[in-house]
Chain A
Amino acid sequence: METTTNILYLFGGVVAVLSALTVVGEALRGRVGPGRTNPVVQTFLTRLMSWWIMVILFTITALLGPVALMLLFAFASFAALREFLTFTDKRQADHLSLALAFFVILPLQYVFVGYDLTGLFTVFIPVYAFLLLPIVSALRGDHNRFLSRVAETQWALMICVYCISHVPALLNTKPEGDSGQTVLLIVFFVMVVQIGDLMEYFAGRRFGKRRIAPSLSPKTLEGMATGIACAAVTGALLSWITPFGIGAAAAMAALASVTGMFGNLVFAAIKRDKGVKDWSHLIPGQGGFLDQLDSAIFAAPVFYHVTLLMSG
């Protein structure tokens, strides 16, 4: 009951923030003047619209509880893997191993997370999928670009399944079985990473100067610093829903945010390499699931392990 109330409080808070941002966005659009558009403001508003939908969906899932969250992230993994593998190096000899990745490895990973089989879920993809899939591909006897094919498939699984599954794995970090508080921990994680990203994007474009990787991404030092600071403040303000104190919650939020931003940078490099602008067009204004999740993907395992350390 207390969890439900807390989720609804947070939902109210986020709705207030989104409403304020929407008002600001519309005001900025009004200032541009009729008949003209500012692409930064336009993107900001389209993104906000997607945000409204994602926030509502995520809130409903969090209210439904752990099983719903598990299914939500399993679906996110599926959508992300579909986007990633669309662009990786593959030949017909990989058909069976790719089918195994989608229909066996992905569901098994979430079953292991769901049943809290920590020993299995932490090694299943990095060790057993890593060994099994190249065997399946090799049995088809095609050596062309073999290493790059199996390596890119493994990368896809690590990123889209292994890393993402660390978000619902947070549900297992409370040994006493208080699932309510761990649901809130997921809400905390998602909120701080996304707020950091959003502020980094906006601050970077407003007053960012020094680019950290000019050939890859428009990310600037100033934008990142603002984003991380905003994430830390949000983390401190939300410390009451976490098992951490105020300072620790701020530090966790800053850590998740900075890891996420570098994850975003890594994805920018992959997209440049593969010649794609967005991974797909499933989320209006944001691109695909991977464009939306790239920072959470990188931040999740780090956040999970530090949480374990702090509660252990």
Chain B
Amino acid sequence: MTRKTPLYRWIAARFTGHLLAFTARFITAVRAEWRGIEPVDKQRVYFANHVSNADMPMIWTVLPHHMRAKTRPVAAADYWLKNKLRAFVGPEVFNCVLVDRRPEARTDDPMAAIRDALDEGSSLIIFPEGNRNMTDDPLLPFRAGLYNMGQSHPHVDLVPTWVANLTTIMPKGEVIPLPLICTVTFGAPLHVGENEDKDVFLKRAADALVALAPERDL
């Protein structure tokens, strides 16, 4: 984000951010379980399951402030640039790395923006399934992006992150969210092994993620 943001927009963005985090905490009492990592400032890629549009704000909410400021969610450009409100919330409040997922509209390599963000030292939140999971399976097959990040930035911790209960809080097709308790569980970090095959690694990553899910989510 080299674009210069006016001060009032910056203040509005921080304020909206705190408001969203407060709302998330008030409604779902969302909390973090640091099972495999400590809540310390370290460059990481949090890869999470994706069942609802509320996944990313939940993870973002439970990150302590000093981590949140350096963590950027990777999100779809077509979704977050659709109107002015979203263009404010996505890029400015959440400081998203926007990626165009439509191959036909794409002008440059979608991985370039992600690599730049990793090069500048940001942590990322990604959803390696690509789309929201509407099936009964706990996870859809992972896209290759996670593997590519692990290869190009081997020093970055890849942290499996399970967001529990959101399917019940806001199932597809419902309008009112239920204020049930949501838990975000962070597992032990993974790294791509030397000469590790892409499919082998993606399977290992998916298994590590599902292992964090509480029984009632499966």
Contact = CB atoms under 8 A, between A and B. Distances in A.
Interface of A: 78-79, 82-83, 85-87, 90, 92, 95-96, 98-99, 102-103, 275, 280-282
B28 to A, nearest CB: 8
A282 B171 contact: no
Given A86-B165, A90-B168, A281 B176 contact: no
A236 B168 CA distance: 48
B29 A85 contact: no
A95 B174 contact: yes
B31 A85 contact: no
Contact of B180 (A82, A96, A282): A82
Nearest to B174: A95
A85 B171 contact: no
B29 A82 contact: yes
B178 interface: yes
B171 A103 contact: no
The prevalent SS among residues of A at the interface is: helix
B208 interface: no
B171 A82 contact: no
Given A83-B181, A86-B181, A102-B179, A281 B31 contact: yes
Contacts of B215: 275
B181 A103 contact: no
A291 to B, nearest CB: 13
Nearest to B33: A281
A99 B178 contact: yes
A86 B217 CA distance: 11
B179 A82 contact: yes
A99 B170 CA distance: 11
Given A95-B171, A280-B31, 15 more contacts: A79-B29, A82-B179, A82-B180, A85-B180, A86-B165, A86-B181, A92-B174, A95-B178, A96-B174, A96-B176, A99-B176, A102-B178, A275-B215, A280-B29, A280-B181
Contacts of B29: 79, 82, 280, 282
A218 B48 CA distance: 39
A98 B165 CA distance: 15
Contacts of B180: 82, 85-86
B88 to A, nearest CB: 28
9 contacts: A82-B29, A82-B180, A86-B181, A92-B171, A95-B174, A99-B176, A280-B29, A280-B31, A281-B31
